[in-house]
Chain A
């Protein structure tokens, strides 16, 4: 008996011949997207007492190549909501067009906009879930910022599997690891703390996190977009911001990987 548990009970090649694994690689009748191509990285969102702040950088990467550097990943819908897209850019464009056509149809009746951010989020989540159930996913991770049915600030996430959740601070991708812990300092009591967060606090926290992400996320850029949605339903969108107050002094100290081995 050999001492590799993984080998126990397996047929030995010298007796039974090598395993014929050809059936494992048989081609499927129809193939769908199995991986994203041109991608955007993290999206950040924070609720404050009168609205929501949302931000994403302007980079679209092709693998490790910084392929497009002026990509607008924050998109406004129905004049009162902003969606921040992470993940595949072509799927983002598809969803953009889909939501635009929805908005056009919504406007046929003359009683004004009726789709709020909550409605959009539900709609998007259902599309994501349908597509994952068809094994033809839309490779995105999105944040939806705006207002809910009662006109209160709304922030929610949806991803390629159709998973949804909502919190006073949200971050997708790398931001879930790096930014979310920093953003949560703003809201020690979750939803109960939102009333104590001002617009300036939220914006500053988001900007700081964008900087942290730029320091550590190799697929990020220092050009970013930031939008503020307020209770009045107004959107203040800035699409060509540059990170301020960068300091790479810390980089000097880093040892253990890269060119400095110790």
Chain B
């Protein structure tokens, strides 16, 4: 890429465009002091996803951690229980992106949820926790936590809850969400298999008259199957995803954690 840039810079001079000056490109300046400026982020790859049903929520992520083409480790969980010292806690957070920020965010939210429990004598609701997570992320609006977070839990009506976030705190409650390296591979699959997008009732008409297939309530086993399929497929097509699958299944009974192998290539 750099060499491509400097080539065009040479051409553009002839054409009368200010490339060499307007594109700051250290490799094209051979003279003068070289600045290797510090970049505070990196991408550790991996993918996460969350799906809710009426009585449960599942958060999952692969366990690979990468640096460029290197695998740092095959076992680096991305899905964390929040406020887990209280057995009544039903909150789970997944973070994908820059792992150091992800860890810092996890620890911060965990501390806040624990402090809430100590100070108010009751567990924080997922709804409150979701809003709080948003404010944490936004508090670093101009030096963001470089992560896509998904928060899962059980809401006050006993239904599975799922909230997804952008790095600066914009959030939304959703049925399902994929995040991270293979989000663009998994999300369309989820749209089709969870919300039946592009599925129609056969023979219901032509063109706009075609009827959308009615969305149904999915069972826990079905959803677990979808998660597994989503990841085994993502592993095939994305180099940063693989090694292991971590699933957190949140129900009113508690939070269950499952690890399964994924392809390690």
Contact = CB atoms under 8 A, between A and B. Distances in A.
Q: Do chains A and B touch in the complex (CB under 8 A)?
A: yes
Interface of A: 2, 4, 6-7, 10-14, 18-19, 21, 24, 32-35, 125, 129, 132-133, 135, 137, 157, 161-167, 170, 176-177, 180, 190-191
Nearest to B140: A133
B182 to A, nearest CB: 20
B15 A2 contact: yes
Interface SS of chain A: helix, strand, loop or mixed?
A: mixed
Contacts of A12: 15-17
Contacts of B44: 163
Interface string B41-69: 11010000000000000000000010100
Contacts of B15: 2, 4, 7, 12
A167 B5 CA distance: 39
For the complex of A and B, the 3 pairs showing the least CB-CB separation, nearest first, are: A19-B18, A162-B100, A167-B73
A233 to B, nearest CB: 25
Contacts of A166: 73, 75-76
Contact of A165 (B12, B40, B76): B76
B70 A177 contact: yes
B193 interface: no
B35 A34 contact: yes
A6 B19 contact: yes
Contacts of A133: 40, 143
B67 A176 contact: yes
A24 B103 contact: no
Contact of A19 (B21, B40, B70, B75): B21
Contact of A135 (B8, B18, B38): B38
B70 A7 contact: no
Contacts of B16: 12-14
B54 to A, nearest CB: 37
Given A6-B19, A157-B72, A165 B65 contact: yes
A143 B15 CA distance: 52
Contacts of B5: 6
Contacts of B11: 4
Contacts of A4: 8, 11-12, 15
Nearest to B103: A164
Contacts of B18: 10-11, 13, 18-19, 21
Given A19-B22, A21-B18, A34-B36, 15 more contacts: A6-B12, A11-B18, A12-B15, A21-B24, A32-B38, A34-B37, A35-B38, A125-B100, A135-B38, A163-B42, A163-B44, A164-B103, A165-B76, A190-B75, A191-B75
A133 B41 CA distance: 10
Q: Which of A4, A24, A32 has the most CB of B within 10 A?
A: A4
B33 to A, nearest CB: 11
A202 B8 CA distance: 51
